[in-house]
Each structure stands twice: as C-alpha cells, then as structure tokens.
Chains A and B, each alone.
Chain A
Amino acid sequence: MDLRKDNGKKRDRIGVVLYLAYLVMLLASVLVIGKIAGIQLFWRQNDSIVKVLTPPVTRNVIDPARGNIIDSEGRLLAMTCPIYQFYMDCTVRKGQPEKDELEWLSQARALSAELAKVFPEKTADQYYKLIRDSRAAGKKYVKIGRPVDRNLYNRIIRFPLFEKQKYYSGMIVEREYIRKYPYGTLARRTIGFVRNNKSSEVTNNHVGIEGKFDHELHGKNGIEYFRKTDQGRIRDNDSLYVKAEDGNDLRITINIDYQEIADRALREQIEGRVDIMGATVCLMEVSTGAIRAMVNLTHNEKTGAFEETQNMVVGRKIEPGSVFKTVTLMSVLNDGYVKSLEETFPATNGHVSGTDINDQHIPDFARQHNTDKISMLDGFKISSNYVFAKLAIDNYAKKQRQFIDNIYSYKLGEAFDFDLDGLPVPTVPNKKENGMKLNDLGRLGFGYMSEETPLHILTYYNAIANKGKMMKPYLVEDIEKGGVVLKKRGPAVLNAAICSRAVADTLNRALLAVAEEGTAKWSLMGVKCSVAGKTGTSFGTFPGGGYSDANGQRKYQSTFVGYFPAEDPQYTIISTLYSYPKPHSSEVQGGGIPAKTVKSVINALYNIDPYFQPVLAKSK
C-alpha cells in the first residue's frame, strides 16, 4: 500500500515537471504566434536595416570574347590577350614592430632589384626609393613599371615580396584585354583597330577590317547577377542571366607570307630615303579579286621610319599618270577607232596641235629610229604623251561623252562596295559635260584630269588580266565560328566584260612590250616569270591646286601596275610611290622603285606559290 502511494507521488512529480515544461513551451508558442501575427499585420520594415541585412546582389556585364582575324591559310592575324599593370599599396603593415618593418623593407629592396631587370627605365635604387618614399607618404596606389604580357606577369608575381600574400606585399594587379597582332606591323592598317579612347582627338575610332566588321567580331554582351554567400560570391540563379555571345572569326584573303614578302620588298627599296613620303604595294588574285597582300608604308618624319599608319591603296586618289594610257587605248580599241597597235602617228616635233602639249620623247624617238612615224605600240612602250593625247583628241574631241562613259564602264568613276571604309569616288570630268577643252581632253588621255586610287587602277588592270571580266576586290573570305563557316562571302563580278577577249589580248601584247622592251625593261630584267604591265609617273597637286609649292618643288607619284605570268595571269600587282620634294633621280619614276619592288615580289612569290611548282608525274 505504501509502495503504491510512493509510486503515485513519484508519477505525480514527473507529471508536474512535464506539465510545467509543456506550459513553458505553450507560452513560448503563443508568444511566437503572437509575434508572427504582429509582424504580418502591424510591422513595417526599416529600409536602412533591410539594406544592411540583405545579401547584396551585384550586376555584372559579361564581355564576350572578341573574334579572331585569320589569314587565307588559317594563321592568326589578330587575337585577344590580357595585359597586366602592377600597382602597390605601400602602406601595408605600416606601423608594425621595427624588426618586421626592417624585414619588409629588405624584401622591398630585393623586389626593386628584380623590377629594375624587367623595367630598365628605372634603376633598383630608384625603385626602392619610390617604394620607401611612397610608404612614408602613405600612398596606396603606386604604379609599378608598364603593362606586361602574361609571360612577364608570371615572372613578376614570383619576385621577392610580391610572392607573399597581397595583405603583406601590397601588390595590386589590374588586368585588361587588348588586341594583339602576332605578325607585328604586317598589314596593320588593313587589319585595323577599334579605339575605345573617347578622349582621343582622333575621331576615326573604327579602322580597317577590325572597324568595319566590329559588329561581327565583337559578339553580344551577357548579364548575370551575383550574390554573396558563406561560400563566396556566386551567381544568383533567381535573377536574370543572359549568356554572352562570343564574336565571330573573320577569315580574310590576305596571305601573311605574301604580305611579308611584299612588305620586305618595298622596305628594301625605300628605307633610309627621306624624299619618299609613302609607298604601297597591293597584290590581287586575277580570277577572284581576292587581295593577297596590301602594304601601306608612310614616312614618319619624327622617327624616319616607314609605318603602316594610312591606307593609301584604298584612300588616296591621285592623278594616275601614264598607267591611265591603257584606259585610252582600251577605249579606242573597244570603240573600233583603232584596229591595230601598228597604226602610226606622225613623229615630228611631238606637239599636239590645238593644245600646249609637247612631248620631247617624239623627236628623240624619230632621231634614234631614223623615222618620221611612231606606231601606237612604240608610243605605248615609251609612254608617249603625244600619242595618247592625239588618240583622245582625234577620236573623242566631238564625242567626249563617249570617252567619259567608257571610263565609267571600266568602274573608274565610282566607289564600289569594298571591305574597308574610305574608298573615295574617283574624280573624272563631269559625265554630262561635253565641252572639255582639247588641252584637257588630251591630258585626260595620258593620265591627268582624273584622280584614281591605286585600288581602282589595280582592279582595272586585273580585268585586263582576266580577259575583260572585272572582279570586285575583296578582303573578307568568310565569317566563321569555331572553324564552321557561318557566312560565305568570296568573289563577285563588277563588270562581266569591260572589253572583248580580243581587246584584252591586244592590250596584253602592249603591256608585255612595256615590261620587256619599254619603260620597265631595266627594272624588270631578271624577273623569274613573264610580266605585263605599265609604268606611270605624275606630278602631285598641292592644296592650292598647283603642281609645285612656293619654292618650285614638285611632288612625284609613280606607279607600276601589271600582272604575271603574262601568258596565264595569276596575280595583278600595283606599287605606288609618293615622293617629295622631287629627287634628281629616275628611281622615283614608275619604272624605278615601283617596278623594282614588283620584281622582288614576283621573284619571291615564284619560289613559293603552288602555281609555279612543277609537278612530277607518277612513273608507270
């Protein structure tokens, strides 16, 4: 009975304890429920507290990877790589015990010695003084050296002090992606660039292929949001995420081997000369119009070096001089006014009646050949202004418009669509005008009164090489992504027939004669394959419109344009030279440096171009 009573008391005690615990929990739950209801119904948030307590979500714009530019053989011409700029927070660990401070400074001295090796613009002592003084002055952002590539970055981060943690070394690194060109300055103006520096005074920020095809190369930006967690900064999946779309690659027609050959050939001819303002070479494939090399060298007056700073092939129009005589010859052949190159003109004093045109070559020719006649072919070979002024005046004096229309039909009067910006409209006498003075008509016949770019002249000669079919010059072969062609561009025809095949053959004979017996004979001697081409030299105009400056000095513009091999043309090439003041040398004429440059290019290409490689047949 007592035992049962004891058990009962014990159970009661446990029951009371449990009951009390239950009551406490019950009270707590009532409080919690009450609080929840209070929060739901009456509580208003304090924005400043919310701001502090809410994990911040940061917006990040994802930069797409810019597309590469590759040459016709698949070699990288332009790519994106990072550069690194080092800075130093010189105040780190400042105020530490003297022993530690001395240790830090000794490491800074060792760092300075290494920095002097990679950035020799300052000595080790100067670097150490910079760090020590900046530490004393409390500077937190001291620039060290200049921007470096990844290789040098890898070396520098292993230097004494910098190899330590950033809170000990104070090292700060800023990374920036830039465009890099593995082939250096080769075709730099053709490849071009996109300049982001808005503070620059230069307004043209989109240059060359990089500029014109920026919309393809750039890609599309992406957006992502980040939030902070205990694990670090991670992408917030509850927020918007737009994937960046990388830019497309461009395969261009330039063959970097040919570009280097052309660049070297031109430099060999002009380097060290102060009378040359600039020079160009452009190589085009006959059957397609693909530009295989485009060299533009401009003389830098400060450094004396020749640099790719201006695209003269595309952007500089000049009076072409005698290379335009082929246009006159094609015109009269096309119109049937001349049937044969053997037709003759009187060769007396070289004066064209009704004009002030005089040609000293004619009396010289008459004397040398003991004749009073000159054939059209001979006139072309010696590049006689008399012959071509007479051709123009005799045949078009009363049909000037026909001559001008012919020039337009050869695409020498329009700026056709091209893969680079800046191709100007050539200057040709007004199409509607039929009242040109005889003097001007004669001058038009031998290459004045009109202004053409080297690209226009090249395209025109390429059409002769292509038997009258004029191909549109182009630079961008296709647009690719990861090696897959997205958009195929390629050859296009500008004019299916600017002349008949017979006229093209006749012109070929005349151009071959110029290279073998005429004005380009000496410069092209020893060329490894047959060349057909024409030399041309003209005076450049000054801002006032005259042909000489205040001191009577003249500008010379000389050109050689031709194609090779003459019997089965594969490439058309033009080389133009701009010189001022006029040197006392025939070197700056079309048959001089330009023709020699062309010869060097042809000889080098001959050794490596597959077309010229003989095929060894299988033995049976």
Chain B
Amino acid sequence: MRRRESAKTWKLADVGAFFKNSFSAILKGEFLLRLNVGRYFIHIVYTFVLLAVTIWISLMIDTTMAKVEKNKKELEELSIQNSQKTFDVVKLTKRSSVEEMLGTMGSKVKEAEKPATRLEK
C-alpha cells in the first residue's frame, strides 16, 4: 500500500487542482496560513525593521551631510576672517610701518643706530 502511494505520479490535472486550491485559499484568506508562513513571521518583521532602519539612517546621513555643508561654509568664512586678520597683522610688521606707528604714538624709539649686544648663552 505504502509502495503504491510513493509511486503516485503527478498529473496535469493536479496542477490545475493546485491552482484551484490556491485560488480558493487566497479568496478565503488562508493561503499564507496553509503555507505555514507564520514560522517566518519574525524574519519578515526583522526584514521590515531593517528596511525601515536603512531608510531612517539614510535620512539621518542626509541631515548630517547638510550640517557638514553648513559647517564647511562657516569654516570657510572663519578661514577668510583669519587670513584677512593675518594679512592685516603681517602688514604692520613692515619696518617702515612700525616706525610710522611709533612716530604717530609719539615714541622716541627709532631704527637701531648701532648693533645690539648679545648675551653669551
């Protein structure tokens, strides 16, 4: 009897029956239950969460990148301010500028008239 059952072969009518059963199961809302998909429910939820997290991280990256761009602009502005200040300060170190400023301030300090004496180290 068992040998007879295992030797049972599929017929084209079985395919039709399979589709008919599947369709009626879909209409009754039992298709997934019959496939026993409930076993994989946690995996489905996990995949869903994974996709949601990916989208969320992507949005967070966009937000961070937007902040990066904003900070880059601020850094550039600060760098410009710095270079302008550096330029202004360096300009003042010109010997003639120093002499002129000392004169304006009423200082009697002038260019050296003899070499300075160095102390032995």
- Hey, which bits of chain A sit against chain B, CB under 8 A? 19, 22-23, 26, 75-76, 79-82, 149-151, 180, 182-184, 186, 229-235, 237, 256-257, 260-261, 264, 604, 606-610, 612-618
Contact = CB atoms under 8 A, between A and B. Distances in A.
Given A182-B94, A231-B65, A616-B120, 6 more contacts: A76-B86, A79-B87, A81-B83, A81-B84, A150-B81, A609-B115
A19 B62 contact: no
B62 A229 contact: yes
B4 interface: no
A431 to B, nearest CB: 46
Contact of B115 (A26, A232, A237, A608): A608
Given A19-B29, A79-B83, A232-B66, A607 B112 contact: yes
A184 B100 CA distance: 15
A180 B90 CA distance: 11
Given A22-B29, A232-B69, A616-B119, A607 B86 contact: no
Q: Is the interface of B mostly helix, strand, loop or mixed?
A: helix
Given A150-B81, A229-B62, A614-B117, A260 B69 contact: no
A178 to B, nearest CB: 11
A235 B112 contact: no
A159 to B, nearest CB: 19
Nearest to A26: B26
Contact of A613 (B29, B93, B94, B117): B117
A81 B80 contact: yes
A607 B90 contact: no
Contacts of B91: 182-184
B114 A616 contact: no
11 contacts: A149-B84, A151-B88, A183-B91, A184-B91, A235-B65, A237-B65, A607-B114, A609-B115, A610-B118, A615-B119, A618-B119
Contacts of B81: 150
Given A22-B29, A260-B94, A260-B95, A180 B87 contact: yes
A617 B61 CA distance: 67
Contact of B84 (A151, A229, A232): A151
Contacts of B54: none
Given A232-B69, A260-B96, A614-B117, A182 B112 contact: no
Contacts of A183: 90-91, 94
Interface size class of B (residues with CB under 8 A): 20 to 34
Which among B61, B63, B83 has the highest number of chain A CB atoms within 10 Å? Answer: B83
Contact of A617 (B27, B96, B120): B120
A437 to B, nearest CB: 52
Contacts of A613: 115-118
Given A26-B26, A614-B117, A233 B94 contact: no
A82 B79 CA distance: 10
Interface in B87-114: 87-88, 90-91, 93-96, 111-114
Which among B80, B113, B118 has the highest number of chain A CB atoms within 10 Å? Answer: B80
A615 B120 CA distance: 6
A151 B62 CA distance: 35
A559 to B, nearest CB: 27
Contacts of B29: 19, 22
A336 B18 CA distance: 121
Nearest to A70: B90
Which among B61, B86, B115, B120 has the highest number of chain A CB atoms within 10 Å? Answer: B115
A614 B119 CA distance: 9
Contacts of B118: 610, 613-616
A235 B120 CA distance: 59
Contacts of B113: 607
A570 to B, nearest CB: 13
Contacts of B61: 237
A209 B81 CA distance: 27
Nearest to B66: A231
Interface string B55-75: 000000111011011100000
Nearest to A149: B84
A614 B90 contact: no
Nearest to A183: B94
B116 A75 contact: no
A604 B87 CA distance: 26
Nearest to B95: A260
Contacts of A234: 62, 65-66, 68-69
Nearest to B89: A182
A613 B62 CA distance: 63
Nearest to B93: A75
Given A80-B83, A260-B95, A607-B114, A75 B66 contact: no
A234 B117 CA distance: 61
Contact of B69 (A23, A82, A235, A606): A235
